[in-house]
Structure 1
Amino acid sequence: MKIIIVENELYLAQSIASKLVENGFDTEIFSSIKEAMNSNGDVYLLSTNLPGQNTSPLITKFKEKIVILMVSYINNDTVGEPLKLGAKDYIVKPFMIEELLRKIEHYQEYQNLRKKTALYHEYMQNLLKEIKLDFEMEKLTYPLVIQTNYQRLVDKLVFEYAHHNNTLLTFVPLGNNGWKEKIEENGRKSLLYVTEIHLIKKAEREKLFSMLEGHDFILCSTSELETPFPTITLNTDSKLYDQNEILTIDDYVKFIVNSFQYKFPDTELSKKLGISRKSLWEKRKKYDLFKKK
């Protein structure tokens, strides 16, 4: 990690740099904003006591990095406005190097978490992108039980809802050990997304319902389920075929026809399915799978 120090008091800058190097950091010192604008660091220690210099351009340019202000006193000009522009924090001179290291470590962890969150969100979007969701998000309320013929449909609904509403989500798959502790530790801090209820016994289900009382949650069930909570049904006629999903023969045929009917003529499509053209036509009629003109 490289730390850029922007400070016109050379002795102070060198003293800070020396202590940071002792703690394993690479450092570079600049005495002016103009020079530092062309730098490339991970953390910027920016003095707000630079006579005749405007710190705003540097903060704006590097606001995605970790910008920590080094201030002699606290007011709107030295702290308030710079924080609004994108600086992450401030530290008052003189300061102990241990205090500075704690701040750097804290914001480094914060940035890493942001990157991981962005990665997981991008992955989930890609994983669920083929699933068509016809549900008005603003009508979703909880607690709620959703009965479905395809869990990934509900996955998409819940993850999109949490993302668009900036809602903290806790995933509780009941097939994993420790689901009880997960619910207890949540302390009503986040929205619980509960799945795999078919994997627990009836007595455990009653315990689950008791534990969920008072929590905000969405419970997904792939079969009919009696619960004391509001319940809706959300199904799809175009379930995706993947290695984790066992479809009925009819569901498989519907999926293949919906997915490939514009790519192959009926002669080839029926051949690939191992059925006759007449049988394919009958299935089109039965499930209303005719091509849209």
Structure 2
Amino acid sequence: MNVLIIENETYLAQSIASKLADIGHDCHITSVIDLNLKNAYDVILISSSICGDHYEKFIRNNSDSIIIMMISYVSDDTVSKPIKAGAKDYILKPFMIDELIRKIEHYREYKETLYKINFYRSYFNFIEKELNTPTPFQYHPPFVIKSNSQRSADIYAMKYAKEKNIQFEFFSIKEDRYKNFLKNNTSKNTLAYITNLEELKKQDRKDFLDSITKYPVIASIITTDKIIFPQIVDISNIPNNHEIGAEILSVKEYEKAIITKFEGRYPDIELAKKLGMSRKSLWEKRKKYGISRKK
């Protein structure tokens, strides 16, 4: 990071610069506040002894920087006013440089975390507009989200979490991690979001749904089948909740993709019926596309 050290005690300024340079920071030292400077540095360390009359304007002009006041005593002028103007923190002289570095790293990590949160919040606000989510949310976990796309189910789950100001752990039914969660979550205080229930065969799905009735679980399934569970949020028929930006496939490519994805989940008779073809036609297409029957 680029660090500006505004300090008239030369030895202190050089000591700080040397220690920061050792851990990879680029430091610049001055004893004058430049009121024309605007957000040119990642970090600004200011000695209160040379603030002058216009330091609050300087701090406001550099509000994007991590500003830490280096002070000899605590007062409104050295602490309260600078922080109100936008400084992040202060450190009382004399101080250990390692403590100053700890403060810098703390606010650097905080700034990066805040940036990431804003980025993901912006992304979520963008994609949730693609789904006409039913509100108000009528259920408390456990409940099942029934949808025609994973994206739509995920948006609903995330919007629920945002609305209720809660967090949950993410699991896929394809992995075994959710089993450990259910086994070890004896307090039942941690919420889980479990996806891909459509990957289970009917009896396995029924057994799973029976097992989560007493746990704080939100589960999602992509299906048009009837699902039996005490609480089901069915968004499968809501307009405009198809996969965003999905590629358009040819009829042959679509047939191949659907057979590959669902053949291990349904018996041939049922899969053929869902595809609107005979069992013999399904067998012929599997042979044509080189799809091996899953057991």
Whether these two folds match at TM > 0.5 is: yes
- TM-score (ref. length: structure 2): 0.63
Does residue 159 in structure 1 map to residue 158 in structure 2? yes
Specify the code of the residue in structure 2 equivalent to 1:3.
Answer: V
Does residue 240 in structure 1 map to residue 239 in structure 2? no
1:111 aligned residue:
111
2:5/2:28 contact within 8 Å kept: yes
How far did residue 28 of structure 1 move?
1.0
Unaligned 5+ runs, structure 2: 255-295
Distance change in 2, residues 1:13/1:81 (3 Å): same
Q: How does 1:1-293 map to 2 (within 5 A)?
A: 1-35=1-35, 37-38=37-38, 40-50=40-50, 52-125=52-125, 131-136=130-135, 138-139=136-137, 142-143=140-141, 144-162=143-161, 167-168=166-167, 170-180=169-179, 192-199=192-199, 201-202=204-205, 203-210=207-214, 212=215, 215=216, 218-223=218-223, 224-227=226-229, 230-235=231-236, 236-240=238-242
1:7/1:46 contact within 8 Å kept: yes
Specify the code of the residue in structure 2 equivalent to 1:159.
Answer: M
d(CA) in 2 for partners of 1:65, 1:167: 32
How far did residue 9 of structure 1 move?
2.9
1:47/1:69 contact within 8 Å kept: yes
Which deviations, in whole Å up to 9, do the C-alpha atoms of 1:237-284 show, x marking residues without a partner? 44535797999x9xx9xxxxxxxxxxxxxxxxxxxxxxxxxxxxxxxx
Distance change in 2, residues 1:246/1:180 (3 Å): farther
d(CA) in 1 for partners of 2:88, 2:218: 35
Aligned alpha-carbon RMSD (Å): 3.9
1:6/1:36 contact within 8 Å kept: no
d(CA) in 2 for partners of 1:59, 1:234: 50
**Amino-acid identity (%):** 34
Which deviations, in whole Å up to 9, do the C-alpha atoms of 1:187-238 show, x marking residues without a partner? 888764332233353444444444x3xx4x543333444445x433223244
How far did residue 5 of structure 1 move?
1.2
1:33/1:53 contact within 8 Å kept: no
Point out which structure has higher relative CO (alpha carbons under 8 A, 6+ apart): 2
How far did residue 79 of structure 1 move?
3.0
Distance change in 2, residues 1:123/1:99 (3 Å): same
d(CA) in 1 for partners of 2:160, 2:50: 46
1:260 aligned residue:
none
d(CA) in 1 for partners of 2:58, 2:168: 35
SS in 2 for 1:33: coil
